[in-house]
Amino acid sequence: MLYINQNDYPHVSYPNNVSDPESKGATSGNIRDAGCGLCALMMVVDRLTMKSLSLEEAVRLSVENKANLKPGTNMQILGPVVAEKYDLQLTMSNNTWELSQCLQEGGAAIVHIGGDREGHIGTLSDVGHYVFALSYAHGEFCLMDPAWRVNKYTIPGRIGKIREDGLFLYTTSLVLEDDTENRRPRYYLFRRKNS
């Protein structure tokens, strides 16, 4: 199973927020600072197909399809492009039950995290972020965070909300719903076609 951490790639250029040519993202953007969506898509492709999506190809697809106009990656643009290229079906959803069904049926998903906001400390990130969801069982979602680091989930406001087992993170629907409350769509559900 592929896991890729964006923090390992500060040297890989990823121009983003290019609608503001003077922004840091446009002038010196890189995978470490803005590549969570690309890393999550790479994990989806690895999980659901016999092919692989390279980091360089993910950057090229994002730039070519203008999914990099704002900070980070516009998954509403790039998700369908990757789904088509790798013969996957993509559904965008705000329903956590649909997320759990997709995962139980052998699909994979990308969860769009909203970060900190008034009255809420982000559990999976303090800013907008994408994480990869690979399974749901016994009331818990299993996730992989492209920005995982040691002690990320032991700071105040996050303690007790994520159970870690190596690179696998486990959490409840309540935590995901709180963390995605300010995002639409919340979930990008990928399935193999005809499954």
Going from the C-alpha of 132 to that of each of 76, 108, 110, 126, 135, the distances in angstroms are 15, 8, 5, 17, 10
| d(C-alpha 154, C-alpha 169), whole Å | 13
Give residue 194's pLDDT band: very low, low, confident or very high (50, 70, 90): confident
At the second CATH level, the architecture of 6-192 is: Alpha-Beta Complex (3.90)
pLDDT digits (tens, 9 = 90+) for 33-76: 999 999 999 999 999 999 999 999 999 999 999 999 999 999 99
Averaged pLDDT for residues 79-97: 98
Judge whether residue 195 has pLDDT over 70.
no
| pLDDT tens, residue by residue, 102-122 | 999 999 999 999 999 999 999
3-state helix, strand, coil split of the chain in percent (to 5) is 30, 20, 45
pTM of the model: 0.97
Do 78 and 170 touch, CB atoms closer than 8 A?
no
Q: In which element (H, E) is residue 131 found?
A: strand 129-137
Q: Is the dihedral of CA 42, 37, 48, 172 positive or negative?
A: positive
